Amino acid sequence: MAPLVSRVLVALVGLPLVLLVVWAGGWWLFALAAVAAVLALHEYALMIRSLRPVILAAYAGALLSLVGAHLGGLQWTMAGFLSTMVLAFLLHWIATTRQSATVAIASTVLGAAWIGLCLAHLLLLRGIPSEGELATFTVLLAVWAATSARSSPAADRPAQACTRTVAGEDLEGFLFGTAATIFVAFVALYKQHYLSIGQSIVLGVVIAIAAPLATSSNPP
């Protein structure tokens, strides 16, 4: 019952709030992305603490990626992300750690890329001059629809005997979530004459595959 209550609360409170901030855009969306990046990197650091990441460099690189996306576009986004490597080498050289430089720096850069670049591309998507709000709404709603569909009781009941597919997910749950994702992308983008039928379906499939890969990683 608790997971169901949690999903209902997210649907009624969290999702509308996020969509409102996306609609407002600008510094409001930047602030939301920055908070999300800091919280996610904190969780990431706890997951891989045995690898001794230079986590301050990951925080800086992720936030600079967001600044670049908000103020300068894709090139400045990448410049902000690449600063992670420089800061990681510098901090690893200054600090004392038992982990090798390769492992510590690689895990640091991975965190900045996985979290910082993903959130930065949300800002870049919102910044599209023509219908940026629509494109961003579609991606967020499609991911939410896929996640909700996969975790619904109807999708879980026969899952025990199913073949495992993307990121270890059961086949029925994956197909159910994919259908929900394609439906959202089709209704939002094709019906608004933003993409063709084929393009909206392909986008739905890509989101359906990418979402579980991004959310089901296990700590080392």
Quick check: pTM over 0.85? Answer: no
Please state which of the ranges 65-69, 131-135, 156-160 shows the lowest mean pLDDT: 156-160
More confident residue, 162 or 23: 23
The pLDDT of residue 220 is: 44
CA proximity to 197, closest of 177, 213, 182 = 182
What's the gap between Cα 158 and its chain centre?
A: 28
Q: How far is Cα 122 from Cα 56, in angstroms, rounded to an integer? A: 23
More confident residue, 112 or 207: 112
Q: How far is Cα 118 from Cα 1, in angstroms, rounded to an integer? A: 32
End-to-end CA distance of the chain: 30
- 114-139: average pLDDT: 89
Reply yes or no on whether the pLDDT at 210 is more than 50: yes
The CA-based angle 157-158-164, given to 5 degrees, is 120
For 72-102, write each residue's pLDDT tens digit. 899 999 999 999 999 998 888 887 666 788 8
The pLDDT of residue 158 is: 44
